[in-house]
Amino acid sequence: MEPPAVPEQQEEEEEEEEGAVPLSMAPGPVGCQLFGYVGIEAVLDQMKIKTMKTGFEFNIMVVGQSGLGKSTMVNTLFKSKVSRKSSQPGHEERIPKTVQLQSITHIIQEKGVKMKLTVTDTPGFGDQINNDNCWDPIIKYINEQYERYLREEILITRKRKIPDTRVHGCVYFVPPTGHWLRPLDLEFMRRLSKIVNVVPVIAKADTLTLEERAEFKQRIQEDLRTHAISVYPQEDFDQDPEDRALNNRIREKIPFAVVGADQEHQVNGKRVLGRKTKWGIIEVENPAHCEFPLLQDLLIRSHLQDLKDITHNVHYESYRVRRLNESNRPGLGPLNGLPAKGEASSHL
Ligand SMILES: Nc1nc2c(ncn2[C@@H]2O[C@H](COP(=O)(O)OP(=O)(O)O)[C@@H](O)[C@H]2O)c(=O)[nH]1
Ligand SMILES: [Mg+2]
């Protein structure tokens, strides 16, 4: 991107107009004219070049009951257009049956920017008669990543760039019952939303009619409100009215009604990712067919940096404060008080 040209003409005119105001009394923006044109926006180019050189990490996790299409969605994300053309080849077919937490990483390169995208697939829950504490392994994993980061951060000689394995977005799969949220899903999301950005989705949306999808969405939104579960994008963190207006539009559409697929089909001479049914092909990347494109857009395009910022400034920050307070208890040195790596406490 070319830096914008310096508007010299305009500046001179403005200086003349403001000439009568003593500079000491001049309000902020006029005060800048003391220095003439400063060119602060050049920092944008520097930030861009730095990001391009170092690349960045972005980590997503998929959570939900067994059989809702989580592993398929991981495949969909990696096979979709965003990563199809630019990721490292050869990893696509390696999505195994999920028996434990499993992370898959692709390096996606686009216009010189390098993103290390990691998606963590989790085993489904809900199969047992007793599902008490089924969230424990997942919450433990999320906290362990905070712990890892914290341990690097508090070292006296620390790395210039701390490897970031923290979960920036947790996609929660709601079963397409068309009714209300089940107590299990409510409780799980309530716990998750306290430590991570939760993005709920209606799984297997192709099993619901358009009316059912819309009604279910309303009910879920109502349910979340009633139970004070704050999913991403959280209202509390809107930065300004513009941000609020944009996020309000997203909040109306959440949870996205998604369909996942890992097979390609031929449609009108083009290869599309979709599910073949008796009645035709449901194209997952077609916004007229499902809301997978909205999910992908939110996560990987429009809100990627915001998800990372909230993770760092809010979720990680509260973990950090809590852990450091714990380790400052009398008799414990700040470092000695921390348990060994991997022993992070799993409860908030
Ligand atoms: N109808 C429908 N079936 C799906 C969808 N996504 C996945 N499936 C199917 O659901 C089954 C379970 O999918 P899987 O990804 O293993 O679910 P997981 O247990 O949540 O990881 C498989 O047979 C998938 O083909 C979807 O969006 N719609
Ligand atoms: Mg699975």
Q: How far is the CA of 279 from the centre of ligand 1 (A)?
A: 19
* CB of residue 87 inside a 6 A radius of ligand 1: no
Q: Of all helices (H) and strands (E), which one includes residue 189?
A: helix 183-193
Residue 12 is part of which domain span? 8-40
Assess whether 36 and 90 both reside in one domain. no
Q: Which structure tokens are listed for 336?
A: 């000695």
CA pair distance 177, 207, nearest whole angstrom: 9
The one-letter amino acid code at 32 reads C
* pLDDT bracket for residue 170 (50, 70, 90): very high
Query: Which mutation among 61, 65, 66, 68 tests ligand 1's pocket best, with the greatest number of atoms within 8 A of CB?
Result: 68
Provide the percentage of residues in the chain whose pLDDT is more than 90.
58
Question: How far apart, in Å, are the Cα atoms of 37 and each of 7, 18, 23, 24?
Answer: 9, 15, 16, 18
Query: pLDDT tens, 218-272?
Result: 999 999 999 999 999 999 999 999 999 999 999 999 999 999 999 999 999 999 9
Judge whether 340 lies within some domain: no
Q: Which residue has the higher pLDDT, 46 or 17?
A: 46
Judge whether 333 lies within some domain: no
Domain count, the chain: 2
Q: Is 99 exposed, middle or buried (0-12, 13-18, 19+ CB in 10 A)?
A: exposed
CA pair distance 245, 21, nearest whole angstrom: 37
Ligand nearest to the CA of 263: 1
Assess whether 13 and 85 both reside in one domain. no
Q: How far is the CA of 65 from the centre of ligand 2 (A)?
A: 9
Instruction: Sheet with 280-283: list strands edge to edge.
Output: 264-267, 270-277, 280-283
Are 146 and 344 in contact by the 8 Å Cβ rule? The answer is yes
CATH code for the domain of 124: 3.40.50.300
> For 191-198, what is the mean pLDDT?
98
Assess whether 152 and 197 both reside in one domain. yes
Query: pLDDT tens, 30-80?
Result: 545 566 777 888 888 888 888 777 888 999 999 999 899 999 999 898 887
* CB of residue 176 inside a 6 A radius of ligand 1: no
Take atom 14 of ligand 1 and give the residue whose Cα is closest: 69
* CB of residue 171 inside a 6 A radius of ligand 1: no
Judge whether 45 lies within some domain: no
Assess whether 20 and 145 both reside in one domain. no
Atom of ligand 1 nearest to the CA of 65: 20
Take atom 1 of ligand 1 and give the residue whose Cα is closest: 204
Nearest to 68 by CA among 123, 137, 117, 110: 123
Query: pLDDT tens, 275-333?
Result: 999 999 999 999 999 999 999 999 988 999 999 999 999 999 999 999 999 887 665 44
Q: How far is the CA of 68 from the centre of ligand 1 (A)?
A: 5
* CB of residue 103 inside a 6 A radius of ligand 1: no
Angle at 255 between CA 250 and CA 260, to 5 degrees: 115
Provide the percentage of residues in the chain whose pLDDT is more than 70.
78
Assess whether 158 and 258 both reside in one domain. yes
Assess whether 13 and 144 both reside in one domain. no
CA pair distance 235, 28, nearest whole angstrom: 31
Assess whether 215 and 132 both reside in one domain. yes
CA pair distance 39, 164, nearest whole angstrom: 33
DSSP type of residue 84: H
Q: Which structure tokens are listed for 137?
A: 């392994």
Judge whether 3 lies within some domain: no
Give residue 204's pLDDT: 97
* CB of residue 178 inside a 6 A radius of ligand 1: no
